[in-house]
């Protein structure tokens, strides 16, 4: 790509499409081409509105600087390559399009979250999409998916176990399953499964995965053998319920290839449930494009056409010679930026953009302008990262001190790092995208209020391991920060254990994800060195007021997202026989969690 620039200058070529400035940093190109199979998949998940790319100059952000227009051009070139290679290429998304940036959450009053950003998603030729938990926290968002999003995909937006009630009737938000043929004639049966999520709004329902697989429609959908099962879903590929779905399919079809495309924990992950299946999870926030390839047998229809009988290795008995063989798979985690995209498509900086890709980029920039996302509240004096170094927060503490209150929130409400420099409306919404309300319970005895945070974090003397029920409840409500942090911690630990020689080699690498999963070979497309990692608890709080007597009354302030857990914990700590209920809770302020950082920045960072 650097060469292309040089040629353009040397040859005096003038191109009328100027490139955007991102990435401002030098990016390492991949060094090994993708392995293509007879069926290939590009996978996105947990994009959460990150359609304009990561724009900050500090690493690892430039790794992810490609925007959705660049991605569209990439997809277009990859589709052409697939045709040239005469193989199948599918595009799959595993959900969570809401909550995460100004494009999804910076809409004017009266708007619907992610409605505008989803218009761009709708322009891509997704073959299968699955619903995520973030499509379900607010009924109006789900309704928008049902009314405006699902219809565009003609039955391929899948919500196998998720319903919405519209006009008193409960029905799937999208479709329960899809059956279709690929360009090469492969018969695909696809599902779109959501993990056992319980934080959904009224008038939406999520059926447990263990119940879904017992449904008559499910048995019916999987009865006929396709060439391949494509199980998309917003469910982590490790330590969750995919085996329930996998085993239900395997009970009927012991040998049919099964491709699982998962999500939710925001990590890069891959495993194989057997030799004829692969499960892939492709990160978060458009920081990863997943690639899966599989050398599948010829489509059954092809065999029937050519031989008059089925030698494909399909069917319960596995009549063909390939029946018992493992399938050859590959997987790769791509850093979405133009250097990656150009490398894998064999394009240069001036041949890469398609008119379609450019129009998507332009449309996204216009949307950012319309939502005033560059409005600047102040200038962040330094980086405030969630896990990578200790934030110097003395200034925030001073700001919160002086009143007899304790403010508690879930650390997951802080979604993204704040980088030094201009702090804009977009930065406010990437850091804190949830329109959660601040609530409070007045007159809680100080000693009790002060014990809530450690109890919530499971660190209290009598509660060393957090109650399993609380843990399960948090997981069910979508609390997955722990898994992402474990993953980051693991890569930092492995890095620390490296010997001196490997450490010297790693010194030349840029910061980024360093994945170790259980699939064969190296998954990351570009070798990186991992970020430093410092653990944070699941819940965080303001500094406790100093010098108060144990029975001094304080306001216990918290976000509505944690109301149920907090009241439960509070009642476990209460010593005076008082039982707290939602009747004790009032609204603390009209300021929403989405607005608070801007207010702070205006006062403290100007």
Which is nearer to ligand L45E5XJ5, 50 or 343 (by Cβ)? 50
Torsion of CA 317, 320, 323, 327, to 10 degrees: -150
Question: Tokens 């899966």 label which residue?
Answer: 292
Pairing label, strands 169-172, 157-158: unpaired
CB of 398 to ligand L45E5XJ5, least distance (A): 25
**Residues 228 and 249: beta-carbon distance below 8 Å:** no
- Give yes or no for a cis peptide into 274 (omega within 30° of 0): no
Q: Report the residue number, 279 or 413, with the smaller CB distance to ligand L45E5XJ5.
A: 413
Least separation in angstroms between residue 497's CB and ligand L45E5XJ5 is 28
Nearer to ligand L45E5XJ5, 555 or 563 (CB): 563
Query: How far apart are CB 507 and ligand L45E5XJ5 at their closest, in Å?
Result: 33
Sign, Cα dihedral of 355, 356, 360, 361: negative
* Dist. CA 50–CA 336, nearest whole Å: 12
Query: Within a 10 A sphere around the Cβ of 246, how many other Cβ atoms?
Result: 19
**Shortest approach of ligand L45E5XJ5 to residue 283 CB, angstroms?**
12
Q: Half-sphere exposure (CA, 13 Å, Cβ side) for 407?
A: 17
Closest to 282 in 3D by CA, of 512, 531, 46: 46
Q: Cβ closer to ligand L45E5XJ5: 157 or 561? A: 561
Q: Which two tokens stand for residue 350?
A: 């001036």
Judged by beta carbon, residue 198 or residue 247, the one nearer ligand L45E5XJ5 is: 198
Cβ 481 to ligand L45E5XJ5 shortest distance, Å: 6
Tokens at 207, concatenated: 């059926």
Instruction: For ligand L45E5XJ5, give the closer residue by CB, 39 or 431.
Output: 431
CB–CB of 159/133 below 8 Å?
no
Helices (H), 15-164: 68-85, 102-105, 115-121, 139-144
Name the DSSP letter for residue 524.
B
Reading the block at residue 74, the tokens are: 């990439």
Q: How far is the CB of 104 from ligand L45E5XJ5 (least distance, A)?
A: 12
CB of 440 to ligand L45E5XJ5, least distance (A): 17
Q: Which two tokens stand for residue 232?
A: 């998309």
Nearer to ligand L45E5XJ5, 62 or 481 (CB): 481
Nearer to ligand L45E5XJ5, 297 or 412 (CB): 412
Tell me which DSSP letter residue 162 carries.
Answer: E
Residue 44 or 354: which CB sits closer to ligand L45E5XJ5? 44
Helix (H, G, I), strand (E, B) or coil at 418: strand
DSSP characters for 312-376? SS-TTTT-STTTTSPPPEEEEEE--SHHHHHHHHT--TTTS--HHHHHHHHHHHHHHHHTTTT-E
Min separation Cβ 107 and ligand L45E5XJ5, Å: 16
Q: Least distance (Å) from ligand L45E5XJ5 to the CB of residue 241?
A: 16
User: For residue 592, which of 563, 561, 568 has the smallest C-alpha distance?
Assistant: 561
Scanning the structure block, which residue is given the tokens 């020689």?
501
Cα four-point dihedral sign 426, 431, 437, 440: negative
Q: Cβ 234 to ligand L45E5XJ5, closest distance in Å?
A: 8
Tokens of 296: 């599948």
Of the pair 303, 415, the CB lying nearest ligand L45E5XJ5 is at 415
| Residue 436 or 495 having the CB closest to ligand L45E5XJ5 | 436
Residue 367 · residue 102 · CB < 8 Å = no
| In the complex, least distance from residue 409 CB atom to ligand L45E5XJ5, rounded to whole angstroms | 8
Residue 373 or 386 having the CB closest to ligand L45E5XJ5: 386
Round to whole Å and give the CA distance between 292 and 232. 13
Q: Which of residues 134 and 250 has its CB atom nearest to ligand L45E5XJ5 in the complex?
A: 134
Q: How far is the CB of 429 from ligand L45E5XJ5 (least distance, A)?
A: 13
As measured in angstroms, the least distance from the Cβ of 412 to ligand L45E5XJ5 is: 2
CB of 471 to ligand L45E5XJ5, least distance (A): 12
3-state secondary structure of 574: coil
Nearer to ligand L45E5XJ5, 137 or 384 (CB): 137
Q: Quote the radius of gyration of the chain (alpha carbons, Å).
A: 25
Residue ranges in contact with ligand L45E5XJ5 by CB under 6 A: 46, 96, 133-134, 137, 264, 410, 412-413, 434, 436, 478-481, 561
DSSP secondary-structure letter at 138? S
C-beta atoms surrounding 576 within 10 Å: 7
Q: Which of 475, 483, 412, 94 is nearest to 267 (CA)?
A: 483
Instruction: Determine the residue with CB nearest ligand L45E5XJ5.
Output: 412
């Amino acid at each position: 790509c650097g060469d292309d620039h040089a040629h353009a200058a040397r040859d005096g070529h003038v191109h009328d499409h100027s490139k955007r400035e991102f990435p401002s940093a030098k990016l390492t190109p991949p060094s090994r081409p993708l392995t293509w199979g007879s069926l290939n998949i590009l996978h996105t998940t947990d994009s959460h509105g990150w359609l304009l790319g990561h724009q900050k100059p500090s690493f690892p952000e430039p790794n992810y600087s490609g925007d959705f227009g660049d991605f569209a051009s990439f997809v277009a070139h990859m589709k052409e390559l697939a045709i040239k290679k005469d193989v199948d290429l599918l595009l799959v998304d595993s959900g969570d399009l809401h909550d995460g940036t100004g494009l999804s959450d910076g809409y004017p009053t009266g708007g619907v979250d992610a409605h505008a950003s989803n218009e761009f998603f709708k322009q891509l030729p997704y073959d299968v999409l699955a619903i995520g938990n973030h499509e379900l926290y607010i009924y109006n968002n789900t309704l928008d998916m049902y009314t405006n999003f699902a219809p565009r995909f003609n039955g391929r937006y899948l919500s196998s176990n998720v319903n919405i009630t519209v006009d008193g009737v409960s029905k799937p938000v999208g479709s329960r399953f899809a059956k279709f043929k690929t360009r090469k004639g492969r018969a695909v049966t696809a599902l779109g499964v959501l993990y056992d999520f319980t934080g959904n709004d009224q008038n939406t329902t999520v059926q447990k995965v263990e119940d879904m697989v017992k449904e008559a429609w499910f048995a019916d959908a999987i009865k006929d053998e396709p060439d391949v099962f494509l199980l998309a879903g917003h469910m982590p590929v490790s330590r969750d319920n995919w085996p329930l779905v996998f085993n239900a399919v395997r009970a009927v079809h012991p040998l049919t290839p099964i491709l699982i495309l998962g999500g939710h924990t925001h990590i890069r992950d891959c495993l194989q449930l057997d030799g004829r299946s692969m499960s892939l999870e492709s990160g978060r926030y458009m920081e990863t494009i997943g690639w899966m390839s599989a050398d599948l047998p010829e489509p059954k229809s092809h065999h029937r056409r050519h031989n008059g009988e089925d030698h494909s290795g399909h069917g319960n008995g596995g009549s063909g010679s390939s029946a018992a063989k493992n399938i050859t798979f590959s997987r790769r985690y791509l850093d979405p930026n133009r250097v990656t995209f150009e490398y894998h498509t064999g394009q240069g900086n001036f041949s890469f953009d398609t008119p379609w890709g450019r129009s998507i980029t332009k449309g996204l920039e216009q949307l950012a302008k319309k939502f005033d996302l560059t409005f600047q509240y102040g200038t962040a004096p330094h980086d405030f990262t969630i896990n990578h170094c200790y934030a110097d927060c003395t200034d925030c503490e001073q700001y919160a001190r002086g009143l007899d209150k304790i403010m508690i929130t879930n650390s997951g409400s802080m979604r993204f790092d704040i980088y030094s420099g201009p702090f804009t409306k977009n930065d406010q919404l990437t850091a804190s995208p949830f329109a959660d309300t601040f609530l409070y319970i007045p007159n809680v005895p100080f000693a009790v209020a002060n014990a809530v945070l450690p109890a919530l974090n499971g660190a209290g003397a009598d509660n060393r391991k957090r109650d399993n029920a609380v843990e399960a409840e948090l997981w069910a409500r979508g609390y997955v920060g722990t898994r992402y942090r474990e993953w980051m911690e693991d890569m930092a630990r492995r890095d620390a254990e490296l010997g001196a020689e490997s450490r010297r080699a790693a010194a030349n690498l840029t910061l980024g994800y360093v994945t170790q999963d259980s699939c064969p070979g190296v998954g990351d497309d570009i070798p990186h060195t991992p970020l430093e990692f410092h653990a944070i608890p699941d819940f965080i709080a303001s500094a406790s007021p100093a010098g108060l007597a144990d029975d001094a009354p304080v306001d216990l302030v918290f976000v509505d997202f944690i109301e149920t857990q907090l009241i439960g914990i509070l009642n476990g700590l209460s010593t005076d026989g008082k039982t707290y209920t939602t009747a004790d809770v009032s609204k603390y302020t009209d300021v929403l969690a989405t607005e608070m950082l801007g207010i702070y920045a205006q006062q403290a960072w100007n």
